Amino acid sequence: MSESRRGSSPHANHRPRFAYRRPPELGAAAPARHPVVVVGAGPVGLAAAIDCRLKGLPVVLLDEDDTVSIGSRGLCYAKRSLEILDRLGCGDPVCAKGVNWNVGRTFFHDREVYRFDLVAEPDHKRPGMANLQQYYIEEYEIGRAQTVGVDLRWKNRVIAIDPRADHVRLDVETPDGRYAIEADWLIVADGARSPLRHLLGLDVEGKVFRDRFLIADVVMAADFPAERWFWFDPPFHPGQSVLLHRQADNVWRIDFQLGWDADPDVEKQTERVIPRIQAMLGKGREFEIDWVSVYTFQCRRMAKFRHGRVLFAGDAAHQVSPFGARGANSGFQDVDNLAWKLQLVVAGRAPDRLLDTYDEERVAAADENILNSTRSTDFITPKSGMSRTFRDAVLELAERHEFARRLVNSGRLSVPTIYEDSSLNTRDGETFAGAMVPGAPAADAPLDRDRWLIDELGGRFHLLVFADDPGEISRPVVDAFAVLARLPIPVETLVLARRAGAAVANARVLVDAKGVAAERYDGRGGTVYLIRPDQHVAARWRRFDLASIRAALGRATGHDAEV
């Protein structure tokens, strides 16, 4: 929760306004029914609207404001989010404008004690992280939402919600008056304070941390590298922590831990902020303050993310401390998980209970994110003398010993959740090496002609068939690919061959030119993976068997039997 103050620089005033239009329902005799309504045009709500639209669903998006976020807020977008944004058609502008980085440095007092590299291995399309101010992400998403035909309604504030058995009724306030709208399905992505969650009287449970942080966006020409720098107890801010991140346009994010006793109204005064920044940067450096905020945070979630026809996503459903960048990044993963399930249920291709697995999988993910961000917070802000003694001992040992470096916890940066225990998974019947277990998000790998495996997956079910040579796949198996393509839930086959060869009927051939995919998936000739529309692994086998694939497809879509 934050109290913010905007500076006078051009960045802070980067606030495009979007036109309010009189909704067609105003003055109508009866409320119109819409298949999907999304509330909240933040990064997560916009992603939900775009994803549903790409899957052919008409989408109305309601937002009470008519512009993008104030200040940079959500800042670090993890590799998995960039892959999801790629699938939604927003990845390129985000990566072009954002500051890509992989290296993080941790300092204790005035010395570096630990350095990490997020992408320790090459051969991924996207970097470990891209830093970009939230207002830019939202602007790109809004452009994309308009292109794909989302019915974007600015200055439309939901003032009442009435969940019914087979739809949800909303009362919406606009500058021209009120109207009612009905939604078959409602996605709520209206942020941590979630007005809709309050209207429904639903609780969000967890821990509030007794600490305050000063967050400042500073414009300056600095030659620091594009890395994450974190200080424990630095000479320029004794007893507390400081975090520095580079953003686009020479904007730098500085995060000062202040302690619980700090007065937020006093601390965000410019005359208080400038000396803190000068102490950090040295007096000679010129900078301009773009945005300042003092915030506290919670680590908490709703008991359930699905309430009948109402589905909560992003900060409305779960909140974490900022250390680890697990907020917006987990919101994108919520959307990724939800949209394909909603599409199948709306189309009548999957039972309603498939949407319960949105709750199952994303609640497990929220718990993982809360666990990790709580641990980071406890390390950064020790709650007792002994906790501080151990923390400082870890930092001292980390200067010399590798084992202690791994215990240094200034944030366990966002990585996608592996849905290890999901009811949608089919358990392995054979032995595989590597990390591509059922429930894992598909690893990227380079293909020939500057293409990437991750871009070939997603949006529908895929069967990934490994082969040394595309010609080695037998006729009956090739015929079975056609069966899969014609199922009620179609499966597109991708043959991943070590070398280019003849075309394969009923399949697309991809060339694993460097053998990286074969290594990451432990894919020998004949190995088969079933990949979900959100690019997570559903099942895998050492040889093609149509009945097994159909059973796994049924399981992955909430059916009792094969599809």
- Applying CB under 8 A, among 227, 288, 396, 562 the residue interacting with other proteins is 396
Q: Which amino acid is at 319?
A: Q
Examine residue 115 and tell whether it contacts other proteins (CB under 8 A): no
Applying CB under 8 A, the span of 44-52, 188-196, 395-403, 459-467 interacting with other proteins comes to 395-403
With H, G, I as helix, E, B as strand and everything else as coil, classify residue 202.
Answer: coil
Q: How far is the CB of 126 from other proteins (least distance, A)?
A: 19
Residue closer to other proteins by CB (options 146, 387) is 387
CA distances from 163 to 188, 310, 348 (A): 13, 8, 21
Query: For the chain, how are helix, strand and coil distributed in percent, rounded to 5?
Result: 30, 25, 40
Q: Is 418 in the site for other proteins (CB under 8 A)?
A: yes
Q: Least distance from C-beta 215 to other proteins, angstroms?
A: 25
Structure tokens at 424: 């949608």
361 Cα distance to chain centroid: 14
Among 400, 427, 449, 475, binds other proteins (CB under 8 A): 400
| Least distance (Å) between residue 418 CB and other proteins | 6
With both helix axes pointing from N to C terminus, report the angle between 546-556 and 475-485 in degrees, rounded to the nearest 10.
Answer: 20
Alpha-helix residue ranges (DSSP H) falling in 149-205: 195-199
Number of residues that bind other proteins (CB under 8 A): 26
Nearest CA among 546, 10, 57 for reference residue 339: 57
Q: Write the DSSP string, 401-418.
A: -HHHHHH--S-----PPP
Report in angstroms the alpha-carbon separations of 530 from 434, 440, 535: 16, 12, 9
CB 453 within 8 A of CB 510: yes
d(CA 306, CA 334) in angstroms, rounded, equals: 12
Span near other proteins by CB under 8 A; candidates 300-308, 410-418, 456-464, 505-513: 410-418
* Distance separating alpha carbons of residues 437 and 431, to the nearest angstrom: 10
- Residue 399 is a binding residue for other proteins (CB under 8 A): yes
Q: Quick one: three-class SS letters along 506-531?
A: CEEEEECCCCHHHHHCCCCCCCEEEE
**Part in contact with other proteins (CB under 8 A); list of ranges 230-238, 297-305, 390-398, 459-467:** 390-398
- Choice between 302 and 398, CB closer to other proteins: 398
Contact with other proteins (CB under 8 A) among 409, 426, 527, 557: 409
Q: Which of 121, 203, 261, 403 binds other proteins (CB under 8 A)?
A: 403
Which amino acid does the sequence have at 199? L
Does 401 sit near other proteins (CB under 8 A)?
yes
Under the criterion CB under 8 A, does residue 479 sit at the interface with other proteins?
no
Q: Rule CB under 8 A: is residue 385 a binding residue for other proteins?
A: yes
Smallest separation, CB 386 to other proteins (Å): 4
3-state secondary structure of 138: helix
For position 402 contacting other proteins by CB under 8 A, the verdict is: yes
Nearest 10 degrees: Cα torsion 225, 230, 232, 238: 70
Among 215, 345, 415, 539, binds other proteins (CB under 8 A): 415
Contact 227, 103 (CB under 8 A): yes
Binding track, positions 430-449, relative to other proteins; x by CB under 8 A: -----x----x---------
384 part of the interface to other proteins, by CB under 8 A: yes
Shortest separation between residue 107's beta carbon and other proteins, angstroms = 14
Instruction: Verify binding: residue 412, other proteins, rule CB under 8 A.
Output: yes
Stretch of residues binding other proteins (CB under 8 A), selected from 36-44, 58-66, 384-392, 548-556: 384-392
Out of 146, 270, 304, 390, point to the residue binding other proteins (CB under 8 A).
Answer: 390
* Residue 62, beta-bridge partner list: 39, 153
DSSP assignment of 325-370, as one string?
S-SHHHHHHHHHHHHHHHHHHHTTSS-GGGGHHHHHHHHHHHHHHH
Placement of tokens 């202690």 in the chain = 404
- CB nearer to other proteins: pick between 173 and 519: 519
- Closer residue to other proteins in complex, CB, 398/504: 398
Q: Which is nearer to other proteins, 92 or 428 (CB)?
A: 428
- Please tell me the distance from the alpha carbon of residue 400 to that of residue 418, in angstroms, as a whole number: 33
Minimum CB–partner distance for residue 131 and other proteins (Å): 22
Nearer to other proteins, 43 or 416 (CB): 416
Smallest distance from other proteins to CB 169, Å: 43
CB of 220 to other proteins, least distance (A): 32
CB of 375 to other proteins, least distance (A): 5
User: Does residue 407 interact with other proteins by CB under 8 A?
Assistant: yes
CA–CA dist 263, 247 (Å, integer) = 27
Picking from 143, 151, 144, the residue whose alpha carbon sits closest to that of residue 183 is 151
Q: What does the radius of gyration of the chain's CA atoms come to, in whole angstroms? A: 25
Q: Which stretch binds other proteins (CB under 8 A): 38-46, 206-214, 234-242, 402-410?
A: 402-410
Rounded CA-CA distance 255/292 in Å is 10
Candidate list 110, 387, 490, 499; residue touching other proteins; CB under 8 A:
387
Buried/exposed code over 210-232 (b: 16+ C-beta within 10 A; e: otherwise):
ebbbbbbbbbbeeeeebbbbbbb
Nearer Cβ to other proteins (65/378):
378
Separation of alpha carbons 298 and 336, rounded Å: 24
Binders of other proteins in range 341-380 (CB under 8 A)? 372, 375, 378-379
Q: Is the Cβ of residue 283 or residue 400 nearer to other proteins in the bound state?
A: 400
* Span near other proteins by CB under 8 A; candidates 7-15, 173-181, 194-202, 387-395: 387-395
Residues near other proteins (CB under 8 A): 372, 375, 378-379, 382-387, 390, 394, 396, 399-403, 406-407, 409, 412, 415, 418, 435, 440
